[in-house]
Structure 1
């Protein structure tokens, strides 16, 4: 889930923390109001319920807050251990940790000068996973989308995704993703921002409408 700083002259180290706090203010009240059974609903993340996703998110952010980055951190095995360590926690305690992480991690991510920006983006995507599982509007969208798109572009360069020219609904300027090798023209995406996030994060695309020319969806995976 880590990234490195891009060469973008407009790089804003406060962006990841701002995205986390924006999502915190929208998501935490939804989690507090949910009944216990809602936490057992399956998400699009294989094998994970809503509770699993939230436990993973909270533990990842607290690793940032506490600077706990042992070898193998954020690997699938590490993520599963973090979730298992919280198996006896109440749902409210899981949410408490997540809220603290979303509040405190931004300052530490800013000090990392880009190396941890992907953590904030991943947290935001997982919030979309929860909304999707609960059938709520705003999955992979909402007020955080402008910051999320900038972080998405940076992440796509880190993982050296192919060049992609994204014409997004309601956005005047195209978004350029990927690094590419200069061997050919960029692929082109036409559609809405939430669907672009779905494509790049490997989320379900059923019910969406978009065009992707010159590449396949799997070419733009931003998390591995």
Structure 2
């Protein structure tokens, strides 16, 4: 029997690594130019500074590379422990670990069964946007990683069977299909900028944005916060 799935439903195992390396090349040079005071700037993540976010991201990727996934990993308590374990390291040492993780984690994520770690790469990219926004950098959730991030977002939401959504993006020629491939409810509709769509799925602040959403609420779209 022929495979009647949409080709867009087929997982691309190289996509998470591509996103991480693309973001590495954009973010790491910025971080290496920062004065130490900038690492203490608060981000949109409650209680976390730029340093906390980077330490969390570095720890998560190190776990992926080393295949360390003990029970409760990535819980708020485990995240706080990972950050605390890096408390004596310099800011640049944390940046070094993050760079290694962004370079090496793609292969491990690609090899994970059923794409179960793909969302980690997407979360890392969103956190890079959190850092850029906290530092006042332009294009917090945009930049060279936006195109692969959107493709990965579509893949992750389909894999997790979230609310179906048809997105017509101001800054992308072709529409994006997200969420469950089929179901009882018709797809919701989104019209607006791609970075704002990222903010919706990542539960990031929407102050100053403009978009149209029909057939779903903001809460329906939250993938992770």
Category of TM-score, reference length = shorter chain: over 0.9
For structure 2, list consecutive stretches of 5 or more residues without a partner in the other structure.
1-5
Q: Distance in 1 between matches of 2:15 and 2:86?
A: 29
Give the C-alpha shift of residue 9 in structure 1: 4.8
SS, match of residue 144 in structure 1: helix
Q: Distance in 2 between matches of 1:17 and 1:216?
A: 31
Q: Distance in 1 between matches of 2:48 and 2:9?
A: 38
Q: TM-score, normalised by structure 1?
A: 0.93
Instruction: Confirm or deny: 8 A CA contact 1:163 1:179 kept in the other structure.
Output: yes
Give the C-alpha shift of residue 88 in structure 1: 1.1
Other-structure match for 1:62: 62
1:165 is aligned to 2:176: no
Q: TM-score, normalised by structure 2?
A: 0.93
**Higher RCO, 1 vs 2 (CA within 8 Å, ≥6 residues apart):** 1
Other-structure match for 1:88: 88
Instruction: Confirm or deny: 8 A CA contact 1:156 1:220 kept in the other structure.
Output: no
For structure 1, list consecutive stretches of 5 or more residues without a partner in the other structure.
1-5
Give the C-alpha shift of residue 172 in structure 1: 2.3
Change in CA separation of 1:7 and 1:122 when aligned onto 2, cut-off 3 Å: farther
Matching of residues 1-224 of structure 1 within 5 Å: 8-113=8-113, 114-179=115-180, 182-223=183-224
Other-structure match for 1:3: none
Give the C-alpha shift of residue 182 in structure 1: 2.4
- Superposed CA RMSD in Å reads 1.6
Give the C-alpha shift of residue 180 in structure 1: 7.0
Deviations 1:28-63 (A, max 9, x none): 010000011100000000110000000000000000
Q: State the aligned residue count.
A: 219
Q: Distance in 1 between matches of 2:141 and 2:17?
A: 17
Give the C-alpha shift of residue 11 in structure 1: 2.5
Change in CA separation of 1:212 and 1:48 when aligned onto 2, cut-off 3 Å: same
- Of residues 166-175 and 154-163 in structure 1, the stretch that sits farther from structure 2 once superposed is 154-163
Once superposed, which parts of structure 1, at least 4 consecutive aligned residues long, lie more than 2 Å away?
6-11, 157-160, 180-184
Q: Distance in 2 between matches of 1:115 and 1:79?
A: 19
SS, match of residue 140 in structure 2: coil
Instruction: Confirm or deny: 8 A CA contact 1:42 1:48 kept in the other structure.
Output: yes
Q: Distance in 1 between matches of 2:21 and 2:135?
A: 21
